[in-house]
Structure 1
Amino acid sequence: MEFSGQVSGHDELPVVVLMGPTASGKTELAIKLQQHLPLDIISVDSVMVYRGMDIGSAKPDADTLLRAPHRLIDIRDPVEVYSAAEFCADARREIQAVHAAGRIPLLTGGTMLYFRALLYGLSELPTADAATRKKLEVEAQEIGWAGMHQRLSEVDPRAAQRIHPNDSQRIQRALEVYELTGLPLSSLQQQDRDRLVLPHPVIKLAVAPAQRSVLHQRIDVRFRQMMEQGWVAEVEALMARGDLDPGMPSIRAVGYRQVWELLSGRIDYTNTVEKGIIATRQLAKRQFTWMRSETGLHCFDSLTPDLDNKVLDLLDSVIGKQ
């Protein structure tokens, strides 16, 4: 089908958001939608921003990008930190450019923090406090990060639910915010979700298999395929640079961390695949948690026959009313 909705004036042009867990088929759907709609795709992915990190991020290949260009891909070197604030600034600029051309931005990806920051604004949270962090690190040495996660569950159960017990960085930050403000991080973040700050009509879509077991199977198959496609060699090239280490945000990315451990001799190939698949499933679980808290989300089963036409029908009806 072809899109029939009409809009006039750049101020009335919407922003379409397409979110979903990893391996849900977001990119494929976005590209199909672009064939029928005046869409420009803007990537919302904290790993695809990095050059040379292609296989493990499931970045579209060169031929696909020629047919369906993605903005905010390959814009940083892996040695650089790329924050949610930087993403918001870049995404707003790209949205403005797309609207100026009379087209509709389609923001698609799985980095939920980026979506939240762009749609609702960045939380006005206290800045990092060295003394508080040191105190928490000392406590973690005594009881372990699993114990710190248990402590977090007592003061902020909602944050603890979405933060993995092994994610020491986020556990520390959540406890730090509580120590400094006396308020749970989740409640402070929820305050920001009461209203959209993006000055455009927003249409929010989500795609995922209805059965979690199907997604797990997809994750398993895709991880193994990426390993066969040369993921280890890709990480070898990153390691050979000599200026990257596993503490950097780029190398901490799911999958890259496990392959780095393989090349460092800490785990074998079988364990790399097993740990990588488990970590990817945990990422998907966190993404689902974010999506469940999102209001006004039009959800689609990624296994629905004729999925792209069903999404186009929705967009036609919604955009046509703008």
Structure 2
Amino acid sequence: MTLPPVLVLAGPTASGKSALALALAQAEDGVVINADSMQVYDALPILTAQPPEAAREAVPHRLYGCLDPARPCSAAQWVELARAEIEAAWHGGRLPIVVGGTGLYLESLRQGLSPIPEIPAAIRDEARARLAEIGNEAFHDELARRDPVMAARLPPGDSQRMARAWEVLAATGRSLAEWQTVPRQGGLAARWLTLALLPPREALRAACDGRFAAMVAAGAVEEAEAFLARGLDPAVPAMKVLGLRELGAAARGELALAEAVAAAQAATRAYAKRQVTWLRHRGGADTVIDAQLSESLLAPIFAKIRQFRLTPV
């Protein structure tokens, strides 16, 4: 039996993945499927660099701005949504092009997930309420008493993952660390081709800085101010969008705009560096493109995709 194809375009923020995905979708009758954990939310389209309207009109784009930012999107939820979109693309005779830099999403889609039971909403809410009540440091201390293994793995600043560890233990009586040793289940049966776009360090740093400056020029400060005015739970993932905290401080007059932009650019560069490290060590790329995306790279990339589609295994 020949498995249907899935193309994955992975890479750090500002590496040019979205532009490459658009070009490939136009050339190969593809559907672009988002695998970025911030772009799934119906909020902050400028700060999360969601594709512009012109791109969405040119080719189908799926799972962008589709979820309420007030509720976290788990890897399991994203996998379920992505699976449905991939299968819809196959049924329509199109090539699914999964694009993003969220390693957990990409890994879970291909390899499956640990079989952790669904966590009741009441327990999830209890974990986040406790975190909000006592703060990150005290919550980390509490987690260390209840689950020292997971607490040792997580810094106090990682509120989302701390809350996840707390809720899994509360709901199942077993540490998340224990669940993670159980073989994964439910990986998508497909024929995979993964391309990792990893520009040289200095080029990527410049791209991060330039893109954030362009976001500010496009109205990111006003977007951040309006979003923060909604008063969402600080623990929800959407509150961790790169640049949101810094631009919010500028909007409140706590930082000069230039200082806020510089701090947000530094945070973006650090995040891109972490993504590159993950992709090099765990990304499982079939092809690594160690260059800034350019017109000259498109022809060999297109040729590789066409060979992949014409050579079923």
Say if 2:108 and 2:187, in contact at 8 Å, map to a contact too.
Answer: no
Moved more, 20-29 or 45-54: 45-54
| Partner residue, 2:256 | 268
Match of 1:6 in 2: none
Structure 1 partner of 2:145: none
Residue of 249, 254, 266 corresponding to 2:242 = 254
53, 57, 60: which one pairs with 1:69?
Answer: 60
Q: Choose from 205, 212, 219 the match for 2:201.
A: 212
Q: 1:312 aligns with which of 302, 305, 310?
A: 302
User: Residue 234 of structure 1 aligns with which residue?
Assistant: 223
Q: Which moves more between the two structures, 224-233 or 295-304? A: 295-304
Query: Could you tell me how far 1:285 is from its partner in structure 2?
Result: 2.1
Q: Distance in 2 between matches of 1:189 and 1:87?
A: 21
Q: Does the CA-based 8 Å contact 1:50-1:73 persist in structure 2?
A: yes
Name the counterpart of 1:244. 232
Q: Secondary structure at the match of 2:287?
A: strand
Matching residue of 2:187: 197
For residues 89 and 233 of structure 1, do their structure 2 counterparts lie closer, same or farther at Cα, with a shift above 3 Å needed? same
- Asked if 2 retains the 8 angstrom alpha-carbon contact of 1:177 and 1:184, the reply is no
Larger deviation, residues 224-233 vs 48-57: 48-57
Is 2:286 the counterpart of 1:297? yes
Note the 1:118-157 alignment, pairs <5 A: 118-125=109-116, 141=137
**In 2, are the aligned partners of 1:258 and 1:272 still within 8 Å (CA)?**
yes
Distance (whole Å) between structure 2 residues aligned to residue 177 and residue 315 of structure 1: 41
Checking the alignment, whether the CA contact within 8 Å between 2:197 and 2:290 is kept in structure 1 is yes
For residues 72-91 of structure 1, what are the structure 2 equivalents within 5 Å?
Answer: 72-91=63-82
Q: Which moved more, 1:22-31 or 1:214-223?
A: 214-223
Q: What SS does the aligned partner of 1:270 have? A: helix
Q: SS of 2:33's equivalent? A: strand
Letter in 1 for 2:33: I
- The alpha-carbon distance between structure 1 residues 46 and 176, as it changes in their structure 2 partners (threshold 3 A), is closer
Identify if the C-alpha distance between structure 1 residues 74 and 138 changes in structure 2 by more than 3 Å, giving closer, same or farther: closer
- Counterpart residue type for residue 212 of structure 1: R
State the 1:224 CA deviation. Answer: 1.3
The count of residues paired between Structure 1 and Structure 2 equals: 299
Pairing partner for 2:100 from 97, 109, 112: 109
- Structure 2 gaps of 5+ residues are 143-147
1:166 deviates by: 3.6
CA deviations over 1:251-300 (Å, ceiling 9, x no partner): 22222232223334443323321221122122212212321213343111
Q: Quick check: 1:284 aligned with 2:265?
A: no
How much does 1:28 deviate?
A: 0.6
Match of 1:151 in 2: none
Q: CA deviation at 1:175?
A: 9.3
Q: 1:317 and 1:202 mapped to 2: Cα distance?
A: 13
- More deviation, 288-297/309-318: 288-297
Q: Which of 34, 38, 50 is 2:41 aligned to? A: 50
- TM-score, with length taken from structure 2: 0.79
In 1, Cα distance between the equivalents of 2:285 and 2:206?
Answer: 28
Kept after mapping to 1: 8 A contact 2:12/2:198: yes
Structure 2 SS opposite 1:24: coil
Aligned pair in 2 of structure 1 residues 261, 116: CA closer, same or farther (>3 Å)? farther
More displaced 10-residue stretch of structure 1: 23-32 or 37-46: 37-46
> 2-side partners of 1:117 and 1:218: how far apart?
28
CA distances 1:114-136 after superposition (whole Å, capped 9, x unpaired): 112211112235868989x989x
Q: 1:217 aligns to what SS in structure 2?
A: helix
8 Å contact 1:22–1:110 — kept in the other structure?
yes
Q: Is 2:196–2:285's contact at 8 Å kept on the other side of the alignment?
A: no
Structure-2 residue corresponding to 1:96: 87
SS in structure 2 at match of 1:17: strand
Q: How far apart, CA to CA, are the structure 1 residues paired with 2:23 and 2:205?
A: 24
CA shift in 2, pair 1:164/1:270, >3 Å? farther
Q: Residue 15 of structure 2 aligns to a residue in which SS?
A: coil
CA distance in 2 between partners of 1:165 and 1:196 (Å)? 31
1:25–1:208 CA contact under 8 A, matched in 2:
no
- Residues 25-47 of structure 1: CA deviation (Å, up to 9, x unaligned): 00011111122212111111222
Higher alpha-carbon deviation: 77-86 or 21-30: 77-86
Aligned 8 A contact 2:203 2:292 in 1 = no
Cα drift, residue 184 of structure 1: 5.3
Task: Specify the SS of the correspondent of 2:240.
Answer: coil
